Structure 1
Amino acid sequence: LGIVFLGAYMVVKIIIEMVRMKLEGSEEGIGSLIKDLEEPLESVELRMNIQSELRFAKANAVEIIEEFKNYVEEGRLEGWEMDSCGDCWVSEGCLVDSNDTPAAIDALMYRAKVSEAEKGEHGWMHLRQSIHNPNIAVNLQSTIPGGCQSMTIALRDKFLVASGFDKILDISEIDKYARNGRL
C-alpha cells in the first residue's frame, strides 16, 4: 500500500508542476518532466515492522532513521552518502512540497547514494517511516545486477545488526532478500 501512496503523491506533484508550467506560459507537456528519468535495472521495496508497543513505534522509527543518517554521514557505511531526492535535500529530512512555504511531513525519511570502488555509483537506498503503519519502508534501486541485494546485505550487516536495531525490528524481509535476491 505504501507504494500506492508514493505513486499518488508523485502524480499530484507532476500535476502541480504542469499547472505551474502552464501559468508561466510553457507549452511543454508531461513528457518534458519525465524525459530524463532513467529506468533502474533493479528496484525493490522491503518493509521492517517495528516490534514495540504501538505507542512507541513512531519514536522508534525516528530514532532508527536518524541513526541511519548518522551511520552514512560518519562513513560507517562505506561508499554511501546522503543524497538529494529532487524535491528537497534529504539530509535535512524530507518535505511535502517545494513551494515557497514547504511543510514538514509527519514521516521521517532519508536517501543515500551507494557507490563501490570497482563499480562506481550504482544505486540508492531510501528509508522512510510509514505514516499509517508501525514500520519502515526500504526502497532500493540499482543500475547493476545484484546491486539491490548487495545494498540490502550492507544495510543488514553494517547498520541494522551493528546498531542493535535488528532486536526491535522484524527484518525477515531484509534477511530473505539478502539471502535470495528476491522475496
Structure 2
Amino acid sequence: MGSFSMAQAQKQKKIYNRPHCKVFLKNGKVVDSYLMAGHNLIHRTDSAIKLSNNPNAFFPKTEKYYNEEVDSMLEWNDRNPEYILHYVPVKIRYSYTEDSTAVDSLSYPVLAMRFYKGKNVEGFMIWDMLNGFRYLYKTTEMNVAHAYIGEKHRLTESRKQTMAEEFKKYPRFVNFINSLKVNSFKDNPPYILNQLDVIIEEAKH
C-alpha cells in the first residue's frame, strides 16, 4: 500500500467540510487530496472518484480515477485524523438474493468501506441514497461480495434461509444462523462475520 505518516497529514492545510483521502493506485501512484462527492459519501453506483486539492474553490480543479485503477484508499476528517476508514474496490451483489435485478447489473467494482478483515472473511459497507448503508460479506472463495443486512432492514427469515443454503457445507454456521433472532446483531454487523470466519477456519483442520 505504501508508507503513510499521519504527522505529515496533520502539517497540511486542514479542510473540515470534505473527507481527506490518500489514494493508492495500482500503478504505484499515491494521491493525497480531498473527496468531491455528494453528501461526502461514495455512492454504490459511482464508477470513479473525483478528488481536489482545493475543494472549496468556486471552480475547483479535480482529478478523476476509476475504481478499477484504485488499489485502496484511506479516508479521514482533518478534525479527527486518527479515525481512518479503509476502502477497497470490490464487485458486489447488492440484493439479498441471487435474482438478477438492476441493482446487480454493475460491471465495475464499487469502492467499499472495509470494516472487518479476518482470515477467511471480509466485511464491507456501501452507501445508497435511498437505502442508506448496507453490509456485505466476502469469503476468500467468493469473487463477489454479498449483501446480508442494511441499516434499515432486519435479518429476515428468508435471508437466514439463503445464507444457510449458501454455507450449507458448514453445518455449524447453518445452526448458528438459524438460531439468530432478527435483531440480534443489527448494532454489531461484524458479529456474524466473525462467527463465519471462525467456523471456516476450524473446518480446515
TM-score by length of 1: 0.30
Higher share of residues assigned helix: 1
Higher-Rg member (1/2): 2
TM-score by length of 2: 0.28
Higher share of residues assigned strand: 2
Which one scores higher on RCO, CA 8 angstroms, separation ≥ 6? 1
